[in-house]
Structure 1
Amino acid sequence: MSAPSKRPPFDPRDPLGIDDLLEPEDLAVRDTVRSWATDRVMPHIAEWYERGELPGIRELSRELGSLGALGMSLQGYGCAGASSVQYGLACLELEAADSGIRSLVSVQGSLAMYAIHRFGSEEQKRRWLPGMAAGEIIGCFGLTEPDHGSDPAGMRTYAKRDGTDWVLTGRKMWITNGSVAGVAVVWAGTDDGRGGIRGFLVPTDSPGFSAPEIKHKWSLRASVTSELVMDEVRLPADAVLPEVTGLRGPLSCLSHARYGIVWGSMGAARASFESALDYAKSREQFGRPIGGFQLTQAKLADMALELHKGILLAHHLGRRLDAGRLLPEQVSFGKLNNVREAIEICRTSRTILGANGISLEYPVMRHATNLESVLTYEGTVEMHQLVLGKALTGLDAFR
């Protein structure tokens, strides 16, 4: 009999040995994105957050394009064609730096590019996707309106026929990348007799289109957030996405983006947990490190449980997505659990850091405030609870 192999030591950063589930290609993607975020984002993110801006976003976009991070899991048209797990790992590493950076990538790839890739014509794909994959063109996604968030069916943005053209009028709100985008994917009601809501590709230099930036945010401060205003924007017939009608289009895009959030939220949680763990081992009170006290260790143990259970959940959903078996209800399961637990990890980490936890010298409060937005965008807690409630009972409680 061969002697049993020597067991590896316990790793506080990977207590369940989740890395053993990853292929070498997965690890290479993760490490590449982590290295980029460490070099290009981490030295500056506290200053960007404090100033409430994301300077150099176009340069960052091109760098992310060169990494293959934009439209990462899409095939062809300059996209990397990576696995869903690899895309998820990239989201985790980007959000470990900041939710605003992950949002830039998520909106570009999982919303704007995904909509074009899945529902666009061949001509539309060739026109937009290569430049977007390279980060030369930034995209945004216009669904939410000032008066309609969780109920997009009530949208007021409307496109009417005028000869062979469309004339688009309305407003969209809380749009990531809006003020720097070259193309906006805008969803609007129509009078074309095909079921109402259609998607339109709107070049942002079109007359009548504007995207004023939203200021005075206390969350996602290192992110460009805008309003989209369409004042009788005239579009040619080929601006409409031809392969989808109704809410199925935007909702499928949101499901794809929510999958990235399942991973990304664990990045914010990991950064906060590791900050608290390091602090607990070095901060001394009553003559010894606070990590040596039972109450602190209980907090660290509980946070580690939820963090790594969340990563396992994300990995499981990623494998299902790669196998073509992931259901929208399962995405809701992941988003609801992981973002909620990530916020709790940030809050508990803050208690370990004490007053230092509110300082931008540490990432904890920044991640906590960012996650307050992540908790409610692309589906509030209540909406995901009702999605799961309907799936469990077969009864629709939305109305």
Structure 2
Amino acid sequence: MSVFSKIKNTFSVLKSVDIQAIAKLSEKVDLSEVMKSVGDLDERQLAGLMRMLKTKAKKGQHKLPPIDGDFYDLSLKLTPEQRKIQLKVRNFMEDEIKPIANDFWNRAEFPHHIIPKMAELNICGMSYEGYGCPNQTFLMEGVMAMELARVDVSISTFFGVHSGLAMGSIYLCGSEEQKQEWLPKMQRMEKIGAFGLTEPNVGSAVAGGMETTCYKEGDEWIINGQKKWIGNATFSDLTIIWAREKETHQVKGFIVRTDNPGYKAEKMENKMALRTVQNALITLTDCRIPESDRLQKCDSFKDTAKVLKMTRASVAWQAVGCARGAYESALKYTKKREQFGKPIARFQLIQNHLVEMVANLTAMQTMCFRLSEMQDQGILTDEHASLAKVFCSMRTRDVVSRAREVMGGNGILLEYDVARFVADAEAIYSYEGTKEINSLIVGRAITGYSAFVS
């Protein structure tokens, strides 16, 4: 090969590296002089230069993999229609919620202006039949919970309380007349719902220790008591209130209109998690409710439990979304953050943390995917839902902790998002049944012995 051919090949490689870079280079150096210098190289020197340039070309062509927490490509199991819905919700969360999430979380205020926009997604009552609901699968309901929590767990919780707990109570325990009156309006988010079960003195033991009471007087029910941690209740149009009948001691459910005399909701302050969610302390003082607003198909706490079982799967999916949001934020950060002259994603210890995170996340996703399949098949039990809630809420804690760790000091700043996920994971860990209570439900199922205190 002639020297001219070698020079031609050399500049052919240079051209493949970056044409714009060559143009800039010509402004800084005399390319004819460079060609002359290359022509003076011997075979060994020229071969070394060629190797160096080819290596540079390969590096320039290297593309980093996308930021994606779906490591096992579970989205491929969705139908094209389901995938379209998923991406529609994801785009909404990225475009409308992500830019404002930290600000509203920090101020502990709710962005009421997003409700009409959210209504346009047509995802309320995702798995319900009729009443304007989408009539999709429980799997899609779970995927939606994940997509919402992936950006903002507070918005996911607001939606879960309204669409899952409040609408679900009416859907499962209400009469046909009650369903017709409320579900279409709630599906369109024209009326917002809340769910009042937990009390100041009773959380895990609410099934047997509910202190809120009710009794019937003519065609009305009189309710007295308090409810605590009730999401959406500071601005909801209705709240599902559960109370124990004085005479029979059976739990009854009521649709309480929040402008009703005797109903008072006070915003809870100074929370360290889910700050955007408007939790309230509700006080009911001789609150009179007509018989027509009593949930007609609720006769005991077993009926309340049906609602909780249905929504517990979505809470497990929320945990997945929280973990995924933290993981993806951390992974993106490690690819951009440089220390010692290179991105920290190139360091072994950082990669170990990232692998632990994606392993936990993938295990959670596959568990929830199967959980929702069982729900769609009608074979879901309390213990199935409880195991997912236990495992996913625990693993989420680990994922967000590692996400915060790989970000160093920046991990505690809201602007990097992970700090919010770290805090919100603590709420997921506790609500819809604590780790201990859900563990005892699973323990009873696998041993045949109940370890609950009687």
Measured against the shorter chain, the TM-score band is over 0.9
**For 1:101-180, what aligned pairs fall within 5 Å after superposition?**
101-152=155-206, 153-180=208-235
Instruction: Tell me what 1:30 maps to.
Output: 86
Deviation string 1:290-311 (CA, Å, 9 cap, x unpaired) is 1111111111111111111111
Query: What is the CA distance between 1:65 and its match in structure 2?
Result: 2.4
**Range 9-18 or range 212-221, more displaced:** 9-18
Q: Is the counterpart of residue 232 in structure 1 residue 286 in structure 2?
A: yes
1:359-398 matched pairs, under 5 angstroms? 359-398=413-452
Report the Cα offset of residue 70 of structure 1: 1.6
Q: Any gaps of 5 or more consecutive residues in structure 2?
A: 1-63
1:39 paired with 2:95, answer yes
Structure 2 counterpart SS, 1:243: coil
User: Hey, what does 1:304 align to over in structure 2?
Assistant: 358
Question: CA RMSD of the aligned region, Å?
Answer: 1.4
1:48 maps onto 2:48 in alignment: no
Shift of 1:192: 5.2
Q: Report SS of the residue matched to 1:186.
A: strand
Tell whether the 8 Å contact from 1:71 to 1:108 is kept in structure 2 after alignment: no
Distance in 2 between the 1:164 and 1:125 partners? 20
Which amino acid is the alignment partner of residue 184 of structure 1?
T
1:247 to 268, 286, 301: 301
**Once the two structures are superposed, what CA deviation does each residue of 1:227-276 show, in whole Å capped at 9, x if it has no partner?**
11110011111121111211112222112221111111111111111111
Conserved? CA contact 1:64–1:70, under 8 Å: no
AA of the residue aligned to 1:389: G
Give 1:20 deviation, angstroms. 2.1
The 5-angstrom pairing of residues 258-269 of structure 1 reads 258-269=312-323
Corresponding residue of 1:81:
135
Structure 1 unaligned regions, length at least 5 = 1-8
Q: In structure 2, which of residues 326, 330, 338 is the aligned counterpart of residue 284 of structure 1?
A: 338
Q: Work out the percentage of aligned pairs sharing the same amino acid.
A: 34
For 1:304 and 1:158, the matched residues in 2 are separated by 47
SS state at 2:415 partner = coil
Specify the alignment match of 2:77 in structure 1: 21
Find the residue that maps to 1:226 and give its secondary structure.
strand
Equivalent AA in structure 2 for residue 344 of structure 1: D
Aligned-partner Cα distance in 1 for 2:338–2:429 = 34
How far apart, in 1, do the equivalents of 2:412 and 2:428 lie?
19
Contact 1:71 1:79 in 2 (8 A): yes
CA contact (8 A) 1:61 1:138 kept: no
Matches of 1:12 and 1:123, distance apart in 2: 48
Q: TM-score w.r.t. structure 1 length?
A: 0.94
Shift of 1:61: 2.7
Q: Which amino acid aligns with 2:258?
A: T
The answer to whether the 8 A contact 1:273-1:345 is kept is: yes
Secondary structure, aligned partner of 2:216? strand
Distance 1:329 1:12 in 2: 34
Q: Decide which structure has greater helix share.
A: 2
2:277 corresponding residue in structure 1: 223
* 8 Å CA contact retained: 1:41, 1:97: yes
Q: Aligned equivalents of 1:70 and 1:116: distance in 2? A: 13
Distance 2:396 2:82 in 1: 23
1:5 maps to none
Alpha-carbon separation, structure 1, partners of 2:171 and 2:350: 48
**Larger gyration radius, structure 1 or structure 2:** 2
Match of 1:136, SS? coil
1:69 to partner: Cα distance:
2.0
- Contact kept in structure 2, 1:168 and 1:232, CA below 8 Å: yes
Asked if structure 2 preserves the Cα contact closer than 8 Å seen for 1:197 and 1:247, the reply is: yes
* Aligned counterparts of 1:158 and 1:316: Cα–Cα separation in 2: 39
